[in-house]
Amino acid sequence: MDKIEITGGQKLSGQIEISGAKNAALPLMITSLLTPETLTLKNVPNLRDVNQLKIILGNHGTDLTVDGKRANGNKYIGDTVHLTARDIVDTTAPYEMVSTMRASFWVLGPLLARCHEAKVSLPGGCAIGTRPVDLHLQGLEDLGAQIDLEDGYVLAKAPGGLRGGRVRFSKVSVGATINVLMAATLAKGETIIENAAIEPEIGDVANCLVKMGAKIEGIGRKTLQIQGVDALEGAVHTVLPDRIETGTFLMAVAATGGEVELIGALPETLTAAIDVLTTAGVEITPTDRGLKVARRNTPLNPIHIETQPHPGFPTDLQAQLMALMTIADGRSVIRETIFENRFMHVQELARLGANISLNGDTAIIEGVSILNGAPVMATDLRASVSLVIAGLVADGKTQINRVYHLDRGFEKIEEKLSNCGAQIERVSD
């Protein structure tokens, strides 16, 4: 199993290209189930989760081809993937597939909308919390689906097809919003989704659906209005840049010091994180091509934040911010309000000398003047990358085990960082 070894202490300087967003690419790929025509997606990041979803979609009958050459020979430009679900050959998403990647549960809405039936395994628990799917099911029932649970599977039927309805989510959910939005595009009549999530990835999916012929109003707002159509067509769409990867590199440079330009970064997709880092004393300025981040020899100010749905501070950057605050000048407080168990990085950061105490959903971080390298274990995607950030500043060598978590969501991270001067390498057993 691969490991990542980092020798800390180098400032970062140079440029990093931001890849396409994992959390947009996954649902965008799933929208291909809604049409028999070809959906072409550009800038698809080469990640484990993306490759796993290709297998899952293939099981439903999607033909996938990937362009052989990358434009301009640029290795971070992403793949161009053509997805054609001419015939859906299987409306079942089995446990073995859904359990490896929760986003695959989102095939439920499109399969139900197009084939009027679907059988999808419940995703089960996961390392960061229980993550129920009640909002997905309630939303689809509001569109007329009949839903039963049997042997760990959701059995959904909509004889004669889904019909538009009023969906009011009691809690903001990215996945439920995407699932119901996709389903509503082919339902008969009008659907109103209230208290929808407004993460930029949802806007990206909605914009792609519009290119495919869907009628959606209110994109980017908390109320979405969808007029169902009889069929969707093919389209060409470019995946938006990854705001979580962007935020991760902002924090890496904030931790090590130095100056890096993040090419392709979209500042408007991560204003909360930029505000927090600016408060912490990090210099962030927009450029023609993205964002420049710098920290000179100034100390880091501690921060107090809580994670919130967009446009608040994202839970997917909580672990990275915590890694940064381990070396701040004073006490920081981070409250996690989205997932109840998203603190697995705390004990690993402690192995590097961080001083963090947990009280329920709140972490209190007393900044220390130095971290020391040590072997650590990656536990989930964002927790793993927080260990990379800590390893970049720690004195001596940090070895990160189980890096397959990192490969789920960060494209060529060791290459991108080493191009900026980090001493980081992948070691295979």
Which residues form the catalytic set?
126
Q: Of 238, 202, 240, which is closest to residue 41 (Cα–Cα)?
A: 238
Nearer to ligand EPZ, 40 or 379 (CB): 379
Nearer to ligand EPZ, 249 or 339 (CB): 339
Nearest distance from residue 220's CB to ligand EPZ, in Å?
16
Nearest distance from residue 325's CB to ligand EPZ, in Å?
19
> Measured in whole angstroms, how far is the alpha carbon of residue 417 from the centre of its chain?
20
C-beta neighbour count of 83 within 10 angstroms: 25
Could you tell me the two tokens for 374? 């040590």
**Is 206 in contact with 182 (CB distance < 8 Å)?**
no
Residue nearest to ligand EPZ (CB): 175
Nearer to ligand EPZ, 44 or 327 (CB): 44
CB contact set of 340 (below 8 Å; sequence gap of 6+):
129, 130, 361
Nearest distance from residue 306's CB to ligand EPZ, in Å?
13
Could you tell me the two tokens for 220? 């980017």
Nearest distance from residue 4's CB to ligand EPZ, in Å?
18
Nearest distance from residue 425's CB to ligand EPZ, in Å?
24
Bridge partners, residue 79, by sequence? 44
Nearer to ligand EPZ, 174 or 390 (CB): 174
Nearer to ligand EPZ, 26 or 363 (CB): 26
Nearest distance from residue 379's CB to ligand EPZ, in Å?
12
Nearest distance from residue 133's CB to ligand EPZ, in Å?
4
Nearer to ligand EPZ, 13 or 195 (CB): 195
Nearer to ligand EPZ, 204 or 261 (CB): 204
Nearest distance from residue 314's CB to ligand EPZ, in Å?
6
Which residues lie near ligand EPZ (CB under 6 A)? 23, 26, 102-103, 129, 131-136, 171, 173-176, 197, 315-316, 338-339, 381-382, 409
Nearer to ligand EPZ, 311 or 421 (CB): 311
SS (H, E, C) the chain: CCEEEEECCCCEEEEEECCECHHHHHHHHHHHHHCCCEEEEEEECCCHHHHHHHHHHHHHCCEEEECCCCHHHCCCCCEEEEEECCCCCCCEECHHHHCCCHHHHHHHHHHHHHHCEEEEECCCCECCECCCCHHHHHHHHHCCCEEEEECCEEEEECCCCCECCEEECCCCCHHHHHHHHHHHCCCECEEEEECCCCCHHHHHHHHHHHHCCCEEECCCCCCEEEECCCCCCCEEEECCECHHHHHHHHHHHHHHCEEEEEECCCHHHCHHHHHHHHHCCCEEEECCCEEEEEECCCCCCCCEEEECCCCCECHHHHHHHHHHHCCCCCEEEEECCCCCCCCCHHHHHHHCCCEEEEECCEEEEECCCCCECCEEECCCHHHHHHHHHHHHHCECEEEEECCHHHHCCCCCHHHHHHCCCCEEEEECC
